[in-house]
């Protein structure tokens, strides 16, 4: 459609420059530099969240775990750490926990609770015990007493073994048969001339003589077998006597040394019971110490270093420490933050070693997890990381529900490992868990996991912003000063603090609030300190803050500049002068990560007679989101309820975002689409020097939208690149005026009359500003004023309805074809 020449109508008055940017006055801060300010709490405006965290930290009932939710950069981790550490300092150090050998069932190690600080004492005592016995038991078995008793036993059993054989030999000799000892055992041979008969002599005997000798030898052989069958029993009795001798001798020294260890822990019955099992096992396995003594120690380290590291055969007497607290240092409950909450790092793991090509393990290879280290205190976890690890969330819930820590292998659960593993005793758990995550994840957990609300009864919801008052302005200045001091930054001038607070207002998207994303403000401060160092100044100035903000914007603005270049070169068609029918400049916000910027988009509308349908081309090709489609349906409802209500809606209209090749969502362009439709229906051109943003309801009221600052700045940059004419500006909802925190160059342009921001409340006000024509209110007679926009729109819709009626009547008047012709 051809563009009409712009007329010399007076444009509507824009907002005062002071309303476009409510800046902080450095003179009102009351200081020259932040060096004059005292310290202030780093967490402000989060009283609700702080109360929830303090409740979770102090309440003693179970299941009052807490989920800390909010946006990144709110200082959630620092706040949680400080508050919980303060509560933990008032609690005593919890018990130590160790695993020891279960001598009755080695695959089921026993968990043992010890007083705080006792685990290393017990471990050291057991190492000294084994080391002492490794020296004393071999010495005892080399003593004269042991040798004498052993010889006596050997002589006794030797005699008991030889006497029956001697008696048999004497009896056989009387019958002319000799008992011979050979390497293969005993054998019998006939005696001839006082000597055992030789084979050739035996073969030379008469058959009757050989038969008599064979019968006699066979009879004596049976008797010899009866004599020799007592040998294994005697051997068993011998071994038992030797073992008894060993146990008797070992018991004296073992009992003495074990008693010395037990005396150190006489108040702990559980340790006493364990040491009694150790004593019995050491007495029964005294040979282990003899084997150890026989082995040489040819290594690069002297014995004094090696002796406290138990040899593998003594692992059965080791103490595997799961968690221990040094009472000389750890005088508070633990606060553990696990950055890698995998299943193994969370609940512990059982390691394996390779022995002769197979995997083996024992209780000394049980390794603790974060739950063990935090037991009796607090465990802080990142919710997103926890939920991304296989089986970690289920393991945490299971531990909290059972109030115990059970160690399981991921390989076993998945059936990937078939080797025999351990079944350690569960360790009782007394713990408060703090999950830190965003609001969306919290909502999903509440909806999808019915156990979540039972286990995490508290939530600490961090505020996104802080009301902007004189008091909070001074408080924010003290927070900034405290952070500069904490990070060893240069002092900030009052102007620098004011510039930073203006940036905080900008980030909040509200001129009456400060953002509480202190992380973003800290980044600006650190970068500004760098620029202050480069310029050699002793303080951070407002110029340094402005440079830091500008450089951050420049680093992220490549896409914005490329799009702006495309508009300037008219690759993307945007008009900033003149007027056109059915065409308006809409405004949108594009986000690239943490960086958002505004850009204008041409919206066009075309109308004709139809069946009352407004076609959203974006929706038809699946580029329009549900909120955008909702906005189009709303404006259709507005048209149907305001104009030509006594005739059928006979409109066929199409709406499109020109040169839009990505998805479109949100209803902030619904007012711009409606303006384009009204222009197309009325035939009145829209000023292309004005851009529009705002949503609309069915009553024709313009509603607030988000990203108003970015949208205004995006159109201003386009106009500035084309040349500011003084007839350019942006229409925004009146409800968005208090959200304005525009760049200084836009404020100066508005002050010079080169650009304006126009606040509107209704569609009628907007169409008047865009066309320079009166919108018109319906009179008592039911008609709009002649020549008004609304009158022209209604006349066009009535004309469509009349044309449609005539068309339908003409169709009915046509002769009907006869059947078969």
**Active site positions, annotated:** 668, 711
Q: What are phi and psi of 615, to 5 degrees?
A: -90, 120
Q: What are phi and psi of 732, to 5 degrees?
A: -125, 155
Cβ burial of 315 (10 Å; 0-12, 13-18, 19+) is middle
Q: Which residues contact 807 (CB under 8 A, 6 or more apart)?
A: none
Instruction: State how far Cα 86 lies from the chain centre.
Output: 24
Sequence-separated contacts (24+) of 406-411 with Cβ below 8 Å: 406/347, 407/347, 407/348, 407/349, 407/350, 407/366, 407/369, 408/343, 408/347, 409/349, 409/350, 410/343, 410/344
Residue 652: how many other CB atoms lie within 10 Å: 16
Contact criterion met (CB below 8 Å) for 271 and 122:
yes
Contact criterion met (CB below 8 Å) for 325 and 373:
no
Beta strands in 301-377 (DSSP E): 320-323, 335-338, 349-350, 353-355, 358-360, 366-367
State how far the alpha carbon of 534 is from the alpha carbons of 485, 523, 531, 694, in Å. 19, 17, 5, 44
If we measure between CA atoms, which residue out of 461, 441, 323, 462 comes closest to residue 386? 441
CA distance linking residue 174 with residue 158, whole number of Å: 24
If we measure between CA atoms, which residue out of 321, 405, 412 comes closest to residue 367? 321
CA distance linking residue 489 with residue 506, whole number of Å: 23
CA distance linking residue 303 with residue 718, whole number of Å: 82
Cβ burial of 113 (10 Å; 0-12, 13-18, 19+) is middle
Q: Which two structure tokens, joined as six digits, stand for 340? A: 């890698």
CA distance linking residue 113 with residue 252, whole number of Å: 29
Cβ burial of 13 (10 Å; 0-12, 13-18, 19+) is exposed
465 φ/ψ sector (left φ>0, alpha ψ -120 to 50, else beta): beta
State how far the alpha carbon of 475 is from the alpha carbons of 37, 469, 514, 515, 529, in Å. 10, 10, 11, 13, 21
Cβ burial of 658 (10 Å; 0-12, 13-18, 19+) is middle
Residue 240: how many other CB atoms lie within 10 Å: 10
Q: Which two structure tokens, joined as six digits, stand for 254? A: 């073992």
Q: Radius of gyration of the chain from Cα atoms?
A: 47
Q: State the DSSP H helix or E strand holding residue 628, giving kind and residue range, or none if neither.
A: helix 626-642
Q: Which residues contact 125 (CB under 8 A, 6 or more apart)?
A: 261, 264
Contact criterion met (CB below 8 Å) for 782 and 747:
no
Beta strands in 464-612 (DSSP E): 465-467, 513-515, 579-580, 583-592, 595-609
State how far the alpha carbon of 312 is from the alpha carbons of 291, 302, 362, 364, 626, in Å. 12, 19, 10, 10, 68
State how far the alpha carbon of 666 is from the alpha carbons of 623, 625, 712, in Å. 12, 7, 17
Q: Which two structure tokens, joined as six digits, stand for 557? A: 């603005």
């Amino acid at each position: 459609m051809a563009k009409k020449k712009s007329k010399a109508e007076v444009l509507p008055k824009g907002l005062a420059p002071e309303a476009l940017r409510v800046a902080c006055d450095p003179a009102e801060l009351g200081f020259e530099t932040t060096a004059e300010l005292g310290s202030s709490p780093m967490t402000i405006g989060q009283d609700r969240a702080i109360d929830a965290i303090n409740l979770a930290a102090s309440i003693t009932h179970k299941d009052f775990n807490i989920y800390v939710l909010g946006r990144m950069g709110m200082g959630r981790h620092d706040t949680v750490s400080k508050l919980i550490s303060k509560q933990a300092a008032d609690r005593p150090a919890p018990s130590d926990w160790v695993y020891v050998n279960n001598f009755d069932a080695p695959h089921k190690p026993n968990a043992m609770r010890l007083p705080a600080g006792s685990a290393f004492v017990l471990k050291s005592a057991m190492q000294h015990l084994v080391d002492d016995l490794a020296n004393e038991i071999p010495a005892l078995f080399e003593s004269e007493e042991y040798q004498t008793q052993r010889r006596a036993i050997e002589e006794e059993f030797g005699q008991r073994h030889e006497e029956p054989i001697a008696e048999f030999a004497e009896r056989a000799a009387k019958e002319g048969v000799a008992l011979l000892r050979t390497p293969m055992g005993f054998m019998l041979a006939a005696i001839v001339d006082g000597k055992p008969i030789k084979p050739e002599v035996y073969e030379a005997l008469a058959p009757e003589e050989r038969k008599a000798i064979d019968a006699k030898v066979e009879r004596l052989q049976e008797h010899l077998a009866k004599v020799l069958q007592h040998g294994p029993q005697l051997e068993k009795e011998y071994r038992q006597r030797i073992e008894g001798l060993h146990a008797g001798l070992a018991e004296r020294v073992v009992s003495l040394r074990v008693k010395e260890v037990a005396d150190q822990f006489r108040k702990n019955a559980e340790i006493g019971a364990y040491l009694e099992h150790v004593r019995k096992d050491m007495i029964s396995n005294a040979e282990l110490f003899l084997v150890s003594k026989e082995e040489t120690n040819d290594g690069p380290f002297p014995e004094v270093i090696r002796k406290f590291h138990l040899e593998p055969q003594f692992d059965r007497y080791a103490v595997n420490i799961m968690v221990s607290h040094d009472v000389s240092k750890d005088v508070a409950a633990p606060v553990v933050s696990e950055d890698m909450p995998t299943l193994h790092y969370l609940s512990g793991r059982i390691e394996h070693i390779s022995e002769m090509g197979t995997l083996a393990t024992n209780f000394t290879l049980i390794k603790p997890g974060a739950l063990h280290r935090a037991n009796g205190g607090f465990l802080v976890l990142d919710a997103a990381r926890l939920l991304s690890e296989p089986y970690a969330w289920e393991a945490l819930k299971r531990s909290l529900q059972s109030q115990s820590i059970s160690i399981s292998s991921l390989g076993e659960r998945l059936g990937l490992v078939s080797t025999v593993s351990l079944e350690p005793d569960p360790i009782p758990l007394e713990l408060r868990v703090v999950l830190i995550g965003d609001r969306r994840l919290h909502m999903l957990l509440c909806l999808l996991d019915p156990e979540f609300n039972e286990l995490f009864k508290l939530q600490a919801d961090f505020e996104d912003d802080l009301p902007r008052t004189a008091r909070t302005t001074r408080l924010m200045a003290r927070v900034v000063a405290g952070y500069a001091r904490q990070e060893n930054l240069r002092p900030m001038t009052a102007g620098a603090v004011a510039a930073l607070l203006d940036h905080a207002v900008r980030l909040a998207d509200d001129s009456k609030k400060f953002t509480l994303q202190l992380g973003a403000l800290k980044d600006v401060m650190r970068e500004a300190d760098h620029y202050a160092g480069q310029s050699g100044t002793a303080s951070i100035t407002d110029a340094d803050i402005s440079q830091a903000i500008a450089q951050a914007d420049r680093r992220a603005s490549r896409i914005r500049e490329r799009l702006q270049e495309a508009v300037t070169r008219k690759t993307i068609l945007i008009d900033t002068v003149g007027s056109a029918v059915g065409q308006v400049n809409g405004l949108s916000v594009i986000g690239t990560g943490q960086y958002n910027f505004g850009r204008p988009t041409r919206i066009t509308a075309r109308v004709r007679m139809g069946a009352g349908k407004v076609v959203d081309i974006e929706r038809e090709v699946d580029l329009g989101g549900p909120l955008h489609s909702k906005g189009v349906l709303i404006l259709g409802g507005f048209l149907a309820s305001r104009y030509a209500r006594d005739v059928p809606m006979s409109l066929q209209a199409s709406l499109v975002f020109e040169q839009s090749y990505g998805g479109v969502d949100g209803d902030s362009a619904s007012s711009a689409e409606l303006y384009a439709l009204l222009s197309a229906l009325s035939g009145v051109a829209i000023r292309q020097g004005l851009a529009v943003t705002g949503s609309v309801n069915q009553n024709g009221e313009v509603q607030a939208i988000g990203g108003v600052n970015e949208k205004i700045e995006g159109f201003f940059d386009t106009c500035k690149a084309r040349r500011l004419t003084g007839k350019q500006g942006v229409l925004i909802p009146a409800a968005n005026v208090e959200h304005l925190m525009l760049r200084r160059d836009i404020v100066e342009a508005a002050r010079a009359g080169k650009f304006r921001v126009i606040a509107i409340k209704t569609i009628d006000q907007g169409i008047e500003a865009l066309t320079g024509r009166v919108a018109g209110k319906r009179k008592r007679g039911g008609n709009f004023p002649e020549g008004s926009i609304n009158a022209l729109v209604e006349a066009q819709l009535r004309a469509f309805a009349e044309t449609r009626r005539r068309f339908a009547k003409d169709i009915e008047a046509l002769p009907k074809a006869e059947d078969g012709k």
